[in-house]
Structure 1
Amino acid sequence: MVSAVFHSPELTPSPSGGGLGWGQAAAVVPAPATKAVGEVAPTPALPQRGREPSAKMPYDWRSLWLKVVPPILGFAFLIGIWAIVAIKTGSSFPSPLETLKQAIEVFSDPFYQKGPNDQGIGWNVLSSLKRVGMGFGMAALVGIPLGFMIGRFTFLSRMFNPLISLLRPVSPLAWLPIGLMVFKGANPAAIWTIFICSIWPMIINTAVGVQRVPSDYMNVARVLNLSEWKIVTKILFPAVLPYTLTGVRLAVGTAWLVIVAAEMLTGGVGIGFWVWDEWNNLNVKNIIVAIFTIGGVGLLLEFALIRLATAFTFEEVKV
């Protein structure tokens, strides 16, 4: 139905001031349309909007530059210094290219076994990791609960703090002769050395975490009359977990550092003994390969523990 609006000429308003006079513009408003029985009113068409192109975020090239380029430059600097030293010393020190060829040969069959003293680098790394796991595991079983008790009770803190301050600065290798004398074997002596050097970071960090729990938490526990078990499991453990994981990271790094030196002195199978054996054979290329292997395994352990700490804590964990 077509509707129209009619306008009259624009005149002056009516002097009486009421209603519409001849001087006003009049508009005829159409009456609502009536539809026949059974007739369906047409649905008004909605205005079509064109699709707006999705806005694309610009790629952060600066972030990529800062993440990728500095490590590449660091490795390039190391290789450059290495190449200069190799050129200056002549054939006595292998170049990076010669070491790379030797590494490819070593890792082409890392698990060969031709006798108790002639095994691939893979077996030696696994043996070292086994010793580290045993010593580190026992240190965690003893150190973490002891750290909780030292941080929780003032009497135990005053009792053990002088002992920790006395024994912690001792070099880990100084404990190796004690282990050899007590355990009468190289393997348990190495595990003992890992244990004694790994326990201190876990004790100290756990105790510090317990002592830094807000006093309001403990006041609420006293008001609710919670048992000691609930205080430890519901209040202390969640609050202390970031500190404990930091101690674990420090401990495993120290353990992997110490096992290489311990195996050099005790012999047997292990990456430390492999390095010492290659030195006796004057095979400097294998020594450098072992150095990078030790660093790579330590880096993987550190990365795994960072991922673990990130999964169980709300704080951002950084190296």
Structure 2
Amino acid sequence: MAYGYSLAVLVGVSLGVLVGQSTWALRGLDPLFQVLRTVPPLAWLPISLAGFRDGHPSAIFVIFITSIWPIIINTSIGIRNIPEDYRNVAKVIRLNGAEYFVKIMLPAAAPFIFSGLRIGVGLSWLAIIAAEMLIGGVGIGFFIWDAWNSSRISDIILALVYVGLVGYALDRIVAFVGRKVTRGTAAS
């Protein structure tokens, strides 16, 4: 999960910045993003299995493709909502592109970015559980499916509690990092 989610963070924030800054990129890419984000995680699995011919990279791809959309969308909204005063101050003090990115753009958009990261980590956890059910072999998703096939309902309930607790912990970790990075302005 860490690989797919990390890749989604890297690509999602980068694309979100591009789409947030460029009206042309927004007009060209947003319709594509809106179509692709509505495809359910499990619908990507057969395509990824056909492409990668292996369960491990397929699972990473499903996690990536599932969690990237809220990251892109929230990042682009955060970039587009940077107050005009911030942009004007950057012009007055003549910040170059890199300085503007680090000192103005990222801090101003960080609460939006971390909202997308929180949604994305939840979706990536959801995707890996579902993928493990279908790919089989290992993982909590496989455990749940195997328990179902063996009529062990109590094991399924225990696994669901575990899934919920781990999902909650992942959300809290991202929220904690968001509060530290944004100095308390990110949603908790």
Q: Normalization by structure 2: what TM-score?
A: 0.95
User: Aligned match of 1:234 in 92, 95, 103?
Assistant: 103
User: Within the alignment, does 1:263 sit opposite 2:132 as a pair?
Assistant: yes
> What is the CA distance between 1:224 and its match in structure 2?
3.1
Q: Report the count of equivalent residues.
A: 187
Instruction: Tell me which residue corresponds to 1:292.
Output: 161
Instruction: Tell me which residue corresponds to 2:113.
Output: 244
Instruction: Tell me which residue corresponds to 1:212.
Output: 81
**Structure in which a larger fraction of residues adopt helix:** 2
User: Aligned match of 2:44 in 175, 178, 184?
Assistant: 175
Residues 310 and 224 from structure 1, CA distance in 2 versus in 1: closer, same or farther, beyond 3 angstroms? Answer: closer
> What is the CA distance between 1:316 and its match in structure 2?
6.3
CA distance in 1, matches of 2:157, 2:85: 54
CA distance in 2, matches of 1:182, 1:317: 38
> What is the CA distance between 1:295 and its match in structure 2?
0.8
Q: Which has the higher contact order (CA 8 A, sep 6+)?
A: 2
Can you give the 5+ residue segments of structure 1 that lack an aligned partner in the other structure?
1-131
CA contact (8 A) 2:70 2:119 kept: yes
CA distance in 2, matches of 1:231, 1:256: 34
> What is the CA distance between 1:257 and its match in structure 2?
1.1
Q: What amino acid is the match of 2:29?
A: F
Note the alpha carbon deviations across 1:226-270, whole angstroms, 9 max, x for none.
221111111101111111111100000011112111111111211
Q: What amino acid is the match of 1:159?
A: G
Aligned residue for 1:148, secondary structure, equals helix
Instruction: Tell me which residue corresponds to 1:45.
Output: none
Q: What amino acid is the match of 2:80?
A: Q
Aligned residue for 2:90, secondary structure, equals helix
Identity %: 44
Q: What amino acid is the match of 2:187?
A: V
Aligned residue for 1:170, secondary structure, equals coil
CA distance in 2, matches of 1:144, 1:295: 26
CA distance in 1, matches of 2:66, 2:118: 13
Alignment of 1:178-189 (within 5 A): 178-189=47-58
User: Which shifted more, 297-306 or 207-216?
Assistant: 297-306
Note the alpha carbon deviations across 1:207-242, whole angstroms, 9 max, x for none.
000000011211222233322111111110111111
Can you give the 5+ residue segments of structure 2 that lack an aligned partner in the other structure?
none
CA distance in 2, matches of 1:134, 1:200: 16
Residues 316 and 246 from structure 1, CA distance in 2 versus in 1: closer, same or farther, beyond 3 angstroms? Answer: closer
Q: What amino acid is the match of 1:198?
A: S
CA distance in 1, matches of 2:156, 2:34: 36
CA distance in 2, matches of 1:299, 1:154: 36
CA distance in 2, matches of 1:184, 1:149: 32
Q: What amino acid is the match of 1:312?
A: V
CA contact (8 A) 2:115 2:187 kept: no
Structure number with greater Rg is 1
User: Within the alignment, does 1:156 sit opposite 2:25 as a pair?
Assistant: yes
Residues 182 and 255 from structure 1, CA distance in 2 versus in 1: closer, same or farther, beyond 3 angstroms? Answer: same
Residues 258 and 310 from structure 1, CA distance in 2 versus in 1: closer, same or farther, beyond 3 angstroms? Answer: same
Q: What amino acid is the match of 1:251?
A: G
User: Within the alignment, does 1:315 sit opposite 2:188 as a pair?
Assistant: no
Instruction: Tell me which residue corresponds to 1:273.
Output: 142
